[in-house]
């Protein structure tokens, strides 16, 4: 699975880019999108010929990062600014991943114990029936 991760001052999230059964393809797609975000981040750089507009001056904006144009770009392309990384993870198919190492790291002990008990009872009931 290929996921891209994002973060801003409020929250963090991820998007599933794709699910692959070939690691080479997964790595290629991850690389493609990582370079997209890194390359397109240049859209927030100050253009060489940029000057304050009349409205910027009117509003008291003094530099590129305060300008109307910069803020317009931020609004249109915020996902590019919020991008953090692209990650490739391998997962076993047709397997309950509830007790995987990744999930256990974020699960509190009480919930884990309750879930283990539920899982055990579920499996026993399945055998009995």
pLDDT of 33 reads 97
Q: Tens of pLDDT along 69-127? A: 999 999 999 999 999 999 999 888 888 888 877 777 788 889 888 988 999 999 999 99
pTM: 0.73
Ordered by start, the domain boundaries in the chain are: 2-90, 92-129
pLDDT of 98 reads 84
Tokens of 91: 């997962």
**Residue 95 exposed, middle or buried by CB count within 10 Å (0-12, 13-18, 19+):** exposed
**Residue 43 exposed, middle or buried by CB count within 10 Å (0-12, 13-18, 19+):** middle
Q: Tens of pLDDT along 20-58? A: 999 999 999 999 999 999 999 999 999 999 999 999 888
SS3 at position 14:
strand
pLDDT of 22 reads 92
Which H/E stretch holds residue 6?
strand 2-7
Beta-carbon contacts of residue 72 (< 8 Å; ≥ 6 apart): none
């Amino acid at each position: 699975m290929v996921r891209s991760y994002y973060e801003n001052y409020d929250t963090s999230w991820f998007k599933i880019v794709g699910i692959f059964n070939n690691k080479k393809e997964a790595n290629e797609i991850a690389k493609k999108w990582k370079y997209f975000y890194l390359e397109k981040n240049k859209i927030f750089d100050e253009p060489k010929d940029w000057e304050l507009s009349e409205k910027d001056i009117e509003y008291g904006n003094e530099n590129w990062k305060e300008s109307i144009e910069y803020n317009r770009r931020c609004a249109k392309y915020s996902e590019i600014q919020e991008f953090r990384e692209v990650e490739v993870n391998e997962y076993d198919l047709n397997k309950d991943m509830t007790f995987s190492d990744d999930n256990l790291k974020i699960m509190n002990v009480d919930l884990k114990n309750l879930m283990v008990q539920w899982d055990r009872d579920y499996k026993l009931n399945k055998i009995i029936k």
